[in-house]
Each structure stands twice: as structure tokens, then as C-alpha cells.
Structure 1
Amino acid sequence: MRILLVEDTADVAEAIIAHLSRIGHTVDWQSKGNDAARLVTDPYDLLILDVMLPQQDGFSLLTRVREKGLSTPVLMLTACGEIEERVRALDLGADDYLVKPFDFRELEARIRVLLRRSGGEATNLLNCANLTIDRKSRTAVLDGRPLELTRREVTLLEIIAARPGRIFGKDELIDRLFSVDDTPNANTVEQYVGRLRKKLTGAGFEIRTLRGLGYQLVLLPAGATTAAPTLPQP
């Protein structure tokens, strides 16, 4: 999922980015409050805000997010463990609060909970027909068979499998799959969808292309599965 990290301590930010990228998340990083304020309207799945920031602090950013009516989950980070600060963050609309220094396993777990909650899921397992995606291990299983997917393929599959029937435009998928430092285009998305289709032979759903609109995951009738892609005749 795409995450905006606002943290002014470079080594802390770099460690968080490396860790989250390794498990399949796309992370944009800003070190100053005013710069981050210009990005909070982008379609991020999660915001991680440090409290103490140059120019504009995390509380101000949080207030700005909620005043705009955005329901994006927000995880606050701070070196201060005072209860008053935690209460203030939660009252302003934060969804969770983590005190530095923290264990990355706890950070991962809290992120999973927030993303799960925003998607209406009760566990880390996302089920769609005969497909199961484990958000914790970043793996997918089709009819009990593990799928060999790249981290970005898992993320793409997770996005569309969580909302069967919903149409995802190419621009939206680009926003959610890639960071501001990447240079993807519509052809990049088409390539990832094409790879997924080849690996999802036997799935109880299909990924349809709606010309001019984007992609839609459609559940097939009970007992029906996708066929292997037809190879061109020599």
C-alpha cells in the first residue's frame, strides 16, 4: 500500500522506508511539515506523522487532514511518552500512536491493523473466491497453491481483490503502487495486470479491462475458473 511518512530525522526515516519497502509497501517521505501539507490530499492508504517537525508540526498536519474530511488512517510517532500528548493526538483524529524508540515488528503490526480496519477486514487474511492473501507474510495462495508474485504484484492483487466489482482507473493504480520518485505510466500498469492474469489461471474470478475506464475484478459463477492465456498460433 502507499504510505506517506513525515519524519525529520533522516536515519529514522530511511530505516522505516527500507523496512516497509521490503514487505511490499510504497513509501513517500517528507521531512518538513509544510512540504507534507501539500501531499496529504493525495490518495495515500496511510499517513505516518512525527509530532516534532520543522515549519509545521504533526498535530497541525493531523488537524489539516481531518478538516479536509479525509478519513485516511493516521499513525503518530513521537519521542515523548506523556499521556497528555497521546490524548491530544487521539482527540485530534489520530488512529494510533507509537512512542520512539520502537520495534519494527510492532510498527508492522500497527500498520496492518490500521489498513485492515480501513478495509473492513477483521484478520490479516483477505479471501476472494479461491484466493487467499496473507497481509502479514505478503503471500498469496490459490486453491492451496502458493503463487510466485513480486511484492508489487501482491500489492496490486490486494488492492483489486479487496473490492470485487469496483473499477480501478490506471491513474489511481499508479498513485497507489508507485512513489513520487518512480516514473510509471499506463503501460507499466498494463504489464503488471498482464503478469497477474498469467499467474492466476484457475482463479474463481477474472480481471477485466474496461476500455477507457480501467480494470475490474469480477467473480465468476460457482465452479467456473479462469483459463490459461491463449498462446498465438505459429
Structure 2
Amino acid sequence: MGSEEQTDQENIEQPAVETEESIVGEIVEDALKDEAEGETAASEEVDLQAALDAATTRADENWEKLLLAKAEVENIRRRTQKDIEKAHRFSVEKFAKEMLPVVDSLEMGLASVDAAEGDVVAIKEGMELTHKQLLASLEKSGVKQINPEGESFNPDLHQAISMVPSPDHEPNTVIQVFQKGYTLNERLLRPAMVIVSQPQAPTETKKIDEQA
């Protein structure tokens, strides 16, 4: 009897021990799992904070770069504005320097009129020299004279003030320049005022008109 009761008791205690060990194992496993999850969460929190700090640093650096670029653009704009204003103020400086010798020649010519004692030839030569000097100075600044006498009429450069018959010229030929024109760097400043030859009426037509 005693042996059978002991066996039954062992049979009863064995599942209980196994159940207890199972529960303890589950508790330990859950504890380890919670600890691991806590460590993972802490690690993720640290990673997020590091990423946030890095992003904040990059944002600050980019903001500084933006401020520097904006300041540089503003400096360039101011320098450009000053250069434009300076160019406007002194745009005729080169032309003015070219005109100064012409003024000097005119002043010397006027001063020599009294000493010439009525020498018209000397005065004319002085005026011609000054005229050539003036045209040369104008050409250096891009201003060219239009003197189309003997050339074909060009409506882009010439303005006809009259048309006359001329047996010595082809039709639409400039036979006289009333006022010379000028261009500035190939752009028309003033057209040449000209007289142009027109086609003559046929001889037979003239005879018919005379008979009529």
C-alpha cells in the first residue's frame, strides 16, 4: 500500500513541477523579451535623436550658406548698379576726347584769321583740315558719313527731296546730295537728303504729245 501511495503522489507531483517550471520559464522568457524590447526602444530613441541632431546641424549649415549667397547676390547687384550709373555718366567720354582736338583746331583757325590778312586760301585750307579731322574723330566713335552722289538710290539710307530727268544718269541715281547723312555703328542717324534722276519719257511719246 505504501509503495502504491508513493507512486501516485509522485505521479501527481510530477505534472505540477512541470507546470511550475513551464510557468517560470514563460515568466523568464517574457522578462527577457521585455528587456530586449526595452533595449531596442532605447536604441531606436537614441538613433532618432542622433538623426534629429544631424538634420538640425545640416539645416543650420544650409541656412548659413543661404544667407551668405543672398549677401553675395546683393553685393553683385550693387556693384552692377554702380557700373551702370558710371557707364551712363561717362558714356560720351571717349567721344568727347576725340572732339577736343577738333575744338583746338577751330580755335587756332579763328585766331589765325586776323594774321592771315584776308588770305582766303589759307583760311579755306585750315577749315578743310579741321573738317577732315572732325570726320576722322567721328569715325573712331562709329559715326560714318553718307555721301551717295553717283550711287543708286537706297531708301534705307537716302531721302529723296526731288526727282528730275537726267540724260546723263541712269534712272534712280543720286545726282546731287543736298545734305549728307550719317550712321552710328551701322544704324541710321540721319538719312542723306538727295536729288534722284527719274526715267525719261520715250521719244515717240514726246512726239505724239507735241502733235496733239
TM-score (norm 2): 0.23
Q: Which has the higher contact order (CA 8 A, sep 6+)?
A: 1
TM-score (norm 1): 0.21
**Whose radius of gyration is greater, 1 or 2?**
2
Higher helix fraction: Structure 1 or Structure 2? 2
